[in-house]
Amino acid sequence: ALLPYVPRVPAAALPGKITATTFTLERPRCIFDPHTEASDTVWLAVAFANASATFRNPSSRADVPLYQQLPTAHSYMTLELAAAAYACSAPGPAVLRVGDDTACGDQDTREPCNGPLPSPGPYRVKFLVMGCHGPKAETRWSDPILLQRAGSPGSIDPVPARRGSAVLVIASILASLGAVLAAAVLGAVGAEVWRSLCRRDSGTSAFTCRSYRTHHIPPALPQPLPPSCRCSPPGLRCFGPKSPVPCSAE
């Protein structure tokens, strides 16, 4: 049976809704109930957009295209869940994550897995109901889903809004010019302050700079002694010279 449901990426804003290797789908509910039994399973078929027309539904579980065959077969099947997981009353998250199993790298395993997508795509997906005797119902193919491009983990822009490359180049140039101008202004101000603090000594070719110290009283310099004074031991005052005693006449 061909069901009218079309798989789609959620319209609501979700963290990491589409990345370089994964994407999110809405979980369909209630659409498989008339066509499934308790033993049936629901799969997600993933194919490159230009290869979806040539995809052939497997006749049994043994013929399910595996994740490791994607580079050559251009399609695989994943997210095997019991049909009850898509019932109207089924609990669970409202979205499905495609490509989030980073452990899918073992080429020897024959078990289906939900490994990271190897390229930006675009991809198309559809849900397929599989019973004991092969396919029973399927949805329509989704619209093309294009993943983000990233050369390396460090090149992924954490800001959702992407800017044009020309704007980024101009912003980088303006930032560099601003840094150079700021350095020049600071250097000129510093030189002017230094010149204001320093003065050339009029008697020599050396520079004498002022220094400022808070709460500092310079020590008193020793005062020259009065002429013809003789001093007592340190700490006592000076005494003036005595008048000469006149000579007596003989």
Domain that holds residue 63: 2-149
120 inside domain: yes
Q: What's phi and psi for 41, nearest 5 deg?
A: -125, 155
234 inside domain: no
Run of H or E residues at 77:
strand 75-82
107 inside domain: yes
Asked if 44 and 96 touch (Cβ cutoff 8 Å), the reply is yes
Calpha distance 189→110 (Å, rounded): 73
128 inside domain: yes
Q: Of 124-128, 192-196, 225-229, which gets the smallest average pLDDT?
A: 225-229
| Count of positions (residues) in the chain | 250
Q: What is the pLDDT of residues 60-84, one digit of tens each?
A: 988 999 998 899 999 999 999 999 9
Number of domains in the chain: 1
Name 98's bridge partners.
Answer: 23
Q: Of 70-74, 127-131, 147-151, which gets the smallest average pLDDT?
A: 147-151
226 inside domain: no
The pTM of the full predicted model, rounded to 2 decimals, is 0.59
Asked if 7 and 142 touch (Cβ cutoff 8 Å), the reply is yes
Q: DSSP label at 2? A: B
Q: What is the pLDDT of residues 223-243, one digit of tens each?
A: 555 554 444 454 444 444 445
Residue among 120, 44, 148, 52 at smallest CA distance from 86: 44
Residue among 47, 48, 43 at smallest CA distance from 32: 43
pLDDT band at 91 (very low <50, low <70, confident <90, very high): confident
Instruction: Note the pLDDT of residue 181.
Output: 67
- As a whole number, mean pLDDT of residues 90-117 equals 84
Run of H or E residues at 11:
none
Radius of gyration over every alpha carbon of the chain, rounded to an integer in angstroms: 45
Share of the chain above pLDDT 90, in %: 41
CA terminus-to-terminus distance, the chain = 163
Which CATH number fits the domain that encloses residue 30?
A: 2.60.40.10
244 inside domain: no
Instruction: Note the pLDDT of residue 175.
Output: 67
154 inside domain: no
- Contacts (Cβ under 8 Å, ≥6 apart) of 138: 1, 2, 3, 57, 126, 127, 128, 129
DSSP letter string over 91-141?
-S-SEEEES--TTTT-TT--S---PPPSS---EEEEEEEEETTEEEEE-PP
- Contacts (Cβ under 8 Å, ≥6 apart) of 126: 7, 44, 45, 52, 138, 139, 140, 141, 142
136 inside domain: yes
Q: Is the pLDDT of residue 104 over 70?
A: yes
